[in-house]
Amino acid sequence: TQLLEQSPQFLSIQEGENLTVYCNSSSVFSSLQWYRQEPGEGPVLLVTVVTGGEVKKLKRLTFQFGDARKDSSLHITAAQPGDTGLYLCAGLEYGNKLVFGAGTILRVKS
């Protein structure tokens, strides 16, 4: 099983600040996904990136897939308290298995 390193593990920021979460691996994934999870609920898909170098935007969230398809980043602009949650990156191995990073707990204080 391939490994995904996600950082930082915990982030506490003030409302309005920007932040970036990183997801890195030494292996290539066929695609990479970002999820957000609220306490006591299952993860909810935010985005899937498939092509190396791909950039996707979802309102204040910007997702990037590395050229070599081994790393990805999530950038949030002007964070709001509603962005608080657990963010998970997950790489799809060839063979249908989804490998999760350790997760980033984000807390945005008002």
Partner 1 sequence: GAVVSQHPSWVICKSGTSVKIECRSLDFQATTMFWYRQFPKQSLMLMATSNEGSKATYEQGVEKDKFLINHASLTLSTLTVTSAHPEDSSFYICSARVGIAYGYTFGSGTRLTVV
Q: Pick from 5, 15, 17, 41: which binds partner 1 (CB under 8 A)?
A: 41
Please provide the distance, in angstroms rounded to a whole number, between the alpha carbons at the two ends of the chain.
40
**Using the rule CB under 8 A, is 50 a contact of partner 1?**
yes
Given the complex with partner 1, which of 31 and 78 has the nearer CB atom? 31
17 CB neighbour count, 10 Å cutoff = 13
Kindly provide the b/e burial profile for residues 87-109, where b requires at least 16 CB atoms within 10 angstroms of the residue's own CB: bbbbbbeeeeeebebebbebebe
Q: Pick from 18, 52, 98, 109: which binds partner 1 (CB under 8 A)?
A: 98
Instruction: Check residue 81 and report its DSSP letter.
Output: G
**Using the rule CB under 8 A, is 31 a contact of partner 1?**
yes
**Using the rule CB under 8 A, is 58 a contact of partner 1?**
no
Of 19-27, 29-37, 59-67, 69-77: span binding partner 1 (CB under 8 A): 29-37
